[in-house]
Structure 1
Amino acid sequence: MGKLAFDAVIFDMDGVITKTAITHAAAWKKMFDEYLQKHAYETGEPFKEFTQGDYLTYVDGKPRYKGVASFLESRNISIAFGDTSDEPGMETICGLGNRKNEAFNEVIARDGVEVYESTAQLLNDLQAAGIKLGVASSSKNCAPVLEAVDMLKIFGARVDGVVSAELGLHGKPEPDIFTTACEMLESVPAKAIVVEDAVSGVQAGAKGEFGLTLGIARENNEKELADNGADFVVTDLEELGGISGLNNLFLKNNK
């Protein structure tokens, strides 16, 4: 294979590298349904469950507290932001976010973490080809999750929820975490690729003006990803046909 047209690829983690998007969705549902039942009892309003549609629209890909605030706003529920040290389940944005994280870690501890084989293969191939690799995730669990599947060391840059808080970065749909990872890899967005499965993530890739924003539709959401900034959408990375297929998409997108 000749010289590749791109020099860096930045991957989201949940739903792209690891099968943890399903775990996050289940943890969000557990936390919100418990809270909404309590809220319905206290206000006399009917209980309306947290749905997969709610997850994809208001929560998926966003930093934890931003996701809580976004969903509650959709239900016209207003509570204090609180503090990041709030006890899990306390009736604040942070308390609910911390309860969700607790539920997520309970599931990970019980069930472990699975990796998408096609993503692992592409990462290995890109690494062998000398392409710079980054991971950009809203998750504060990014490092331990990647460590659990022995994949942390292949990334030259990691910008996650912990790093974002330290650097004061805006979360998705703003492009900060991707552009920061790109800088750490000593690349530029025009020569880099973003791989995402969330609407907020492809919006971030588009806003950051990356050479290619590739969407992975794990939730039959091809249209939403394409409408919100994905240059191309696949249902799994095996459809690319390896690095050469990825290079062809990059070239096609940068004619």
Structure 2
Amino acid sequence: MTEIGLPSGVRACLFDLDGVLTPTALVHAAAWKEMFDDFLRQRDGDDFRPFDATADYDAYVDGRPRADGVRTFLASRDTQLPEGEEDDPPDAQTVHGLGNRKNELVLEKIRVEGVQAYPGSVRYVEAVRAAGLRTAVVSSSANCRDVLVSAGIEHLMEVRVDGTTIRERGLRGKPKPDTFLEAAQDLGVDPAQCAVFEDALVGMDAGRAGRFGYVVGVDRVGQAEELRKHGADTVVTDLAELIGVPA
């Protein structure tokens, strides 16, 4: 292993955003809960079964494109809605309407609370770049660039593949490997020479499906064993552990 905790053949690092570089996974989970709880309360009354911001988030929406998250969670509650259109208003009772409501909530939370990158992640990415490796951010979020800018780390990423890229290029979202493969291609690096960094179980699945050289699971919520079961070569609680410095 090299001084940055990766096999010597790795030439590029592909980082998920929410939960790996920034703590915005918590913001997304809170927004999903608020949106789905409002929907379920309207549908079922005050006796509704709430969205679980840990279990439901991890199982059905974490790491997935927004509309896929809506569909997958609703399916878990034996519910289907019309697809609607991508520009549906946030009060529309459609897949895209619910997704747009969730996005509104996320943007408001980011505007009010701001975003800061994990210090250990910044140290690690800086070490990766100093070692001469290429870098990309791979996220299902259409707000990826706004978060990078708010956190002051946009300059650390050479390539960005995000929710907007998924839509424009017709990519399949995680757990399919398309987004990570696209980032590797944009960097001009073979997938076998790339390391994937993910906190979501569907991200682990994508890393394995794409036959990437190394997959790092980032455990922020106590799911280390699940990350390993889904294909992590190693699991850390903070990226700084890979270079042997405190987070």
TM range (shorter): over 0.9
Looking at structure 2, the residues matched to 83 and 231 of structure 1 have their Cα atoms a distance apart, in angstroms, of 40
Q: Which residue of 2 aligns with 1:23?
A: 27
> How far is the alpha carbon of 1:4 from its aligned partner?
3.9
* Structure-2-length-normalised TM-score: 0.94
Is 1:48 aligned to 2:71, yes or no?
Answer: no
* Structure-1-length-normalised TM-score: 0.91
Contact 1:122–1:242 under 8 Å retained in 2: no
Q: Secondary structure of the residue that 1:14 maps to in structure 2?
A: coil
Q: Which residue of 2 aligns with 1:157?
A: 159
Q: Which residue of 2 aligns with 1:248?
A: none
Q: Secondary structure of the residue that 2:135 maps to in structure 1?
A: strand
Q: Structure 1 regions of 5+ residues with no counterpart? A: 244-255
| Per-residue Cα deviation, 1:87-115 (whole angstroms, up to 9, x for no partner) | 01310000000000000011001000021
Contact 2:134–2:158 under 8 Å retained in 1: yes
Which residue identity lines up with residue 31 of structure 1 in the other structure?
M
> How far is the alpha carbon of 1:242 from its aligned partner?
5.0
Counterpart mapping for 1:143-222 below 5 A: 143-222=145-224
Looking at structure 1, the residues matched to 51 and 156 of structure 2 have their Cα atoms a distance apart, in angstroms, of 36
Counterpart mapping for 1:1-255 below 5 A: 4-41=8-45, 46-51=47-52, 52-242=54-244
> How far is the alpha carbon of 1:11 from its aligned partner?
0.1
Q: Secondary structure of the residue that 1:34 maps to in structure 2?
A: helix
Which residue identity lines up with residue 216 of structure 1 in the other structure?
V
Contact 2:66–2:140 under 8 Å retained in 1: yes
Looking at structure 1, the residues matched to 18 and 57 of structure 2 have their Cα atoms a distance apart, in angstroms, of 14
Looking at structure 1, the residues matched to 128 and 243 of structure 2 have their Cα atoms a distance apart, in angstroms, of 13
CA RMSD of aligned residues (A): 1.6
> How far is the alpha carbon of 1:25 from its aligned partner?
0.3
Looking at structure 1, the residues matched to 66 and 97 of structure 2 have their Cα atoms a distance apart, in angstroms, of 11
Aligned length in residues: 240
> How far is the alpha carbon of 1:46 from its aligned partner?
3.7
Looking at structure 2, the residues matched to 65 and 225 of structure 1 have their Cα atoms a distance apart, in angstroms, of 24
| Per-residue Cα deviation, 1:168-197 (whole angstroms, up to 9, x for no partner) | 000000000001100111101111100000
Looking at structure 2, the residues matched to 78 and 177 of structure 1 have their Cα atoms a distance apart, in angstroms, of 27
> How far is the alpha carbon of 1:150 from its aligned partner?
2.1
Contact 2:124–2:243 under 8 Å retained in 1: no
Looking at structure 2, the residues matched to 234 and 30 of structure 1 have their Cα atoms a distance apart, in angstroms, of 30
Q: Secondary structure of the residue that 2:22 maps to in structure 1?
A: coil
